[in-house]
Structure 1
Amino acid sequence: MKVDLFNQKNEKTGTLDLPDAVFGVEWNPDLVHQALTVQVANRRKVLANTKDRSEVSGGGRKPWRQKGTGRARHGSTRSPLWRGGGITFGPIKERNFSRKINKKMKQLAILGIISKKLGEQEIKIIDTLELKDRKTKNLANLAKNFISSKESLLLIPAKENKNIYSAARNLAKVGALSPESLNVYDLLKYQKVLLDQGAVESIVKHYKI
């Protein structure tokens, strides 16, 4: 598969051959959905937590005697019937939302998204993707060469580039990932992708099925 190669000014500089085994993977929406739901579930944290009657404090003594008071009988103020008592069937912190997916299925989902975006001209390969400083303004100007104000952009540099990662954190519609950290969620979240030519080799090596 031949694709165009661009510079950071969005000017065509040549062409590049890409292996079909990695960049020509068939789109499988069901597999992508499965991989996405697994990733989102594994990110989920347990926040809600309640205590049942065995965990709340107090209630060790019977509130009043069984008979003779005219009031309903009670054995403990920990009862769910009491204010401040235990909660019945409430959420607990021991819940586990994690799910699993096979490594090969996850890779196929990632490559399927990349192949689809490449076919729809939503991925552009750059001969060199770099930023000489951490200024957000410089990265914003780079992004303007490839996207409109309503679009979002994911940058994939060839190697660890702290300048790009630092500047991208300050832009709401720009993100940055290493080739080895690609995931279904971020590839779907961002409309356009800028891929460093050197990152192509890393993707082929890391995700080849």
Structure 2
Amino acid sequence: MKVQVKNLDASSAGDIELNDEVFGIEPRADILHRVVTWQLEKRRGTARGTRERSDVARSGKKLGRQKGGGVARHGDRRAPVFVGGGKAHGARVRDFNPSLNKKVRALGLKMALSAKAKDGSLIVLSALDVEAGKTKALAERFAGLGIGGKALVIDGDALNVSFALASGNLPGVNLMPAVGANVYDILKHDTLVLTRAAIEKLEARFNG
């Protein structure tokens, strides 16, 4: 698949041949759904479980006789009504650490990249240099490129410092290195912007 490479000023910087095994796969909703669900589940932290009545180390001996004492009847000190007793209906420990096959995860990322390439929301830039790291200059460049809404910009190993400074105050624009590319972030943005370095890293990631 051949895609035009642009500069930030919307001028042409030639073409680049994208690997069809990475950017030319037919997306499948079931695979993308599995990977996104796995990602969101992995983000959840395991809640600390509270100690319930059976977990509290207190005597199980009955406090007093059942009747005739003039006070409420109780079984033991582990009841939730007592200070130091067990928590009633407390939080339970739940494990949010699902597993997903590596090949399925890799296939999901390829399909997410292919989906953006297929619907025309993929833009390839030669470089991300912004004059003096000015937000106004970058906003004008994005308007010239037709980038609106939420945009995910993926660079190579090292992030461009001037672009990071300029994009910090632009709402909806997120920047990440190629190693952080993931299905959820790609799909939730309207536009995917890749640099030449990012494409090289992504293709090497799958071919390696």
TM-score band by shorter chain is 0.7 to 0.9
Q: How many residue pairs get matched?
A: 206
Q: Which residue is 1:120 aligned to? A: 119
Moved more, 96-105 or 62-71: 62-71
Residue of structure 1 equivalent to 2:79: 79
Q: State the TM-score, normalized to the length of structure 2.
A: 0.83
Taking a change above 3 Å as real, the CA distance of residues 65 and 138 of structure 1, as seen in their structure-2 partners, is farther
Q: What is the 5 A alignment of 1:177-188?
A: 177-188=176-187
After TM superposition, the structure 1 = structure 2 runs for residues 30-179 of structure 1, keeping only pairs within 5 Å, are: 30-47=30-47, 49-53=49-53, 63-80=63-80, 82=81, 85-92=85-92, 94-131=93-130, 133-147=132-146, 151-161=149-159, 163=161, 164-165=163-164, 167-179=166-178
Provide the rounded CA distance (Å) in 1 between the counterparts of 2:140 and 2:176: 19
What is the Cα-based RMSD across aligned positions, in Å?
Answer: 2.9
Tell me the secondary structure at the aligned position of residue 16 of structure 2: strand
Gaps of 5+ in 1: none
* Distance in 2 (alpha carbons) for counterparts of 1:98 and 1:139: 40
Cα gap change, 1:70/1:103 in structure 2, threshold over 3 Å: closer, same or farther? Answer: same
Judge which range, 113-122 or 62-71, deviates more.
62-71
| Superposed displacement of residue 67, structure 1 | 4.3
- Residue equivalent to 1:206: 205
CA distance in 2, matches of 1:136, 1:55: 57
Q: Which runs of 5+ in 2 are unaligned?
A: none
The alignment-based identity, stated in percent, is 32
Deviation at 1:199, TM superposition (A): 1.5
**CA offset at residue 58 of structure 1?**
7.5
Q: Residues 36 and 184 of structure 1 are in contact (CA less than 8 Å); yes or no, is this contact kept in structure 2?
A: yes
Looking at structure 1, the residues matched to 134 and 77 of structure 2 have their Cα atoms a distance apart, in angstroms, of 61
Between stretches 118-127 and 82-91, larger displacement belongs to 82-91
Residue matched to 1:10: 10
- TM-score under structure 1 length normalisation: 0.82
